[in-house]
A and B are shown apart, each in its own frame.
Chain A
């Protein structure tokens, strides 16, 4: 993706808001470089063709404490194929998509990058590569001061996660610091595709009903029907990770050509995006 026009630091922030502006957004996640750099480029581009409004790209970290087995394995594949922060930025620059990209990674990688102490050099480089924002699962609002400041300096968004356990003062603290969209964690636990939609989703959405950032729900969403129900429950977007990473993993296991896996991903993306759109349409009368 091409870098945003320079000189106007607020550009990327507008990008994310715009992605949620016309109806429910579909926000897929893949680990960049899984299972290798070239295939992964094709996969991410396939998601964009399938209707992604924002794409979350995982930069793999060796100790991913928020991930379930599916994404842990993807991280291992990507690291073994040589993914690193430098390669990640090259990857982002090489991608031919015109949706905003969010970098999802763990704090130590942001912290170590560059000669200067702290996360500022990483944010500066990410802005240059065209990244629109960050999700950092091991960085709660309390510890996010320096990263928030760097994001403000370079015009990037910092997305926070609201968990089913987040209440009271903690909600307020997150609200003050969040920008772009808020990531509503649909259930407790780690990432991973599930068969059921969590019934905690609605109550989580209710608690942040009056926030003015878009609300995207993730953790466990797998099918178009899930996406539909999540949007009906009041979400502005659906985040889908493990169910798509599973497609990449199957491709590896079965030795499928990358183009075939890309086609399946595009199809899956289309289904999820359609589900989300259905959720925003008038409920049909004949439904039981």
Chain B
């Protein structure tokens, strides 16, 4: 069997019933994705171009460049069909499922971006699709629930626990262990049992393949640093992958610091999602990785104002690259992310996803470590977050926020 690990991270910690499916997937991944059997990759590239809108541009952020006194470039995954990087992976996996002869697609979603991308890809390729989404996330990401339904997917709310991404993944795994013979689980990030972390990374690596070429065309060289937000870490690994061998390029993974980095063991709550910065080694959702957990090994409830970062684990390869010193984990809190959301929207005319806003908040906090030329991955656009942002900024009195008295009687 081929290697399932990244250093001591990764592996296949799943119920026995799923193991044959992972072997089948490993085989399909090697043949179709790595080996381009039956022209799989050619079809993927063609569809991600014609249906997805690739390549996405790399543009200079003029006002941010002035503000920070460095060249800030934006990799525009927000312009990919669906409004986030998620389609790269979703389209790849749904197409792979088709090549494998599977008849049904299931997926989890946190922010709803992966669910939306999967629903779109499934509709595009004519596959039935069911999405699991935590109840809390259903309520805070309503526009994406509408989009999934309108694309013809079933949306199953998950009521267990805090009702966020962790519970949605667990529930999708349960569905898969029932339906594994004819269903494919399109996991939404570089997490889960092998071969998912490698395979999702490979589908997302198209981001850095393009960006590396684009920055060389623009500047004649490589950037000094690359910045991306990290929940599970798929936009992160996608943005980093081609730069990993370029040792002079610093890689920064920006995690959600939430409301605090302090952990409440008794309540089982870590009010952040900074598993790279503060987590410990453990096993969750099929892989050994860095986790937010208590001293017994019970998984903590994470928190972030951004649903897509709100997860107690992180991809095993990212954990490995952090241990190796190749990737630097940093984090910014909810307030900083909301500030950055508004600053970026007004200064650049791009409304970022709340997840992405974390990457921009780090630009504000960082110093010389970023160097002269920085690429930030704009992992998604913020339409889905408008309701949350207006509410949260109102509650906190964030300075950069516009006031909304234009509505009769104010916001409420």
Residues of A within 8 A of B (CB): 61-68, 72, 76, 79, 84-85, 106-109, 111-113, 137-140, 142-143, 160-167, 170, 174, 185, 188-190
Contact = CB atoms under 8 A, between A and B. Distances in A.
In this complex, which of A63, A66, A142, A188 has the most chain B Cβ atoms within 10 angstroms of its Cβ?
A63
Nearest to A174: B16
A137 B170 CA distance: 14
Given A165-B17, A166-B19, A143 B11 contact: yes
Given A108-B293, A138-B14, 12 more contacts: A62-B268, A63-B170, A63-B299, A106-B283, A112-B293, A143-B13, A161-B15, A161-B17, A165-B16, A165-B17, A188-B177, A189-B178
A142 B284 contact: no
Given A140-B12, A165-B20, A62 B295 contact: no
21 contacts: A61-B297, A62-B161, A62-B268, A63-B285, A66-B15, A67-B174, A68-B174, A84-B296, A108-B293, A109-B296, A109-B298, A138-B13, A138-B286, A142-B12, A160-B16, A161-B17, A166-B17, A174-B16, A185-B17, A188-B180, A189-B174
A62 B298 contact: yes
Contacts of B170: 63-65
A65 B16 contact: no
A252 B286 CA distance: 33
Contacts of A79: 298
Interface string B48-92: 000000000000000000000000000000000000000000000
Contacts of A106: 283
Given A65-B15, A138-B13, A188 B181 contact: yes
Contact of A85 (B19, B285, B296): B296
B166 interface: yes
Contact of B178 (A76, A160, A167, A188): A188
Contacts of B15: 65-66, 137-138, 140, 161, 163
B160 A112 contact: no
B16 A112 contact: no
Contact of A165 (B1, B181, B282, B297): B181
A74 to B, nearest CB: 13
Interface in B10-34: 11-17, 19-21, 23
A204 to B, nearest CB: 11
B269 to A, nearest CB: 12
Interface in B281-310: 282-286, 291, 293, 295-299
B375 interface: no
5 smallest beta-carbon distances between A and B, as pairs: A112-B297, A189-B178, A163-B17, A108-B297, A62-B298
B173 interface: yes
Given A79-B298, A111-B283, A143-B11, A170 B20 contact: yes
- Tell me if B's interface is mostly helix, strand, loop or mixed: mixed
A76 B180 CA distance: 27
Interface residues of B, number: 37
B16 A161 contact: yes
Given A65-B15, A139-B13, A108 B20 contact: no
A218 to B, nearest CB: 12
A124 to B, nearest CB: 16
Contact of B174 (A62, A65, A160, A167): A65
A113 B160 contact: no
B17 A188 contact: yes
Contacts of A188: 17, 177-181
B292 to A, nearest CB: 11
A138 B284 CA distance: 9
Nearest to B194: A142
Given A79-B298, A140-B19, A188-B17, A63 B11 contact: no
A170 B17 contact: no
Contacts of A108: 282-284, 291, 293, 297, 299
Contact of B20 (A62, A76, A113, A167): A167
B18 to A, nearest CB: 8
Contacts of A174: 16
Contacts of B284: 63, 108
A76 B177 CA distance: 21
In this complex, which of A65, A161, A164, A190 has the most chain B Cβ atoms within 10 angstroms of its Cβ?
A65
A255 to B, nearest CB: 23
B177 A66 contact: yes
B14 to A, nearest CB: 6
Given A68-B174, A138-B13, A111 B19 contact: no
Given A108-B283, A167-B20, A140 B299 contact: no
Given A65-B174, A66-B177, A143 B282 contact: no
Nearest to B11: A143
A166 B20 contact: yes
A26 B295 CA distance: 35
A66 B19 CA distance: 13
Contacts of A66: 15, 174, 177
A41 B203 CA distance: 51
A162 B51 CA distance: 42
A111 to B, nearest CB: 6
Nearest to A105: B297
Interface string B161-193: 100001000100110011111000000000000
Contacts of B178: 188-190
B19 A142 contact: yes
Nearest to B161: A62
Given A62-B298, A63-B299, A65-B173, A107 B20 contact: no
In this complex, which of B14, B179, B180, B285 has the most chain A Cβ atoms within 10 angstroms of its Cβ?
B14
In this complex, which of A113, A161, A190 has the most chain B Cβ atoms within 10 angstroms of its Cβ?
A190
A167 B284 CA distance: 26
A167 B181 CA distance: 13
A168 to B, nearest CB: 9
A109 B297 contact: yes
Contacts of A166: 16-17, 19-20
A72 B161 CA distance: 10
Contacts of A189: 17, 174, 177-178
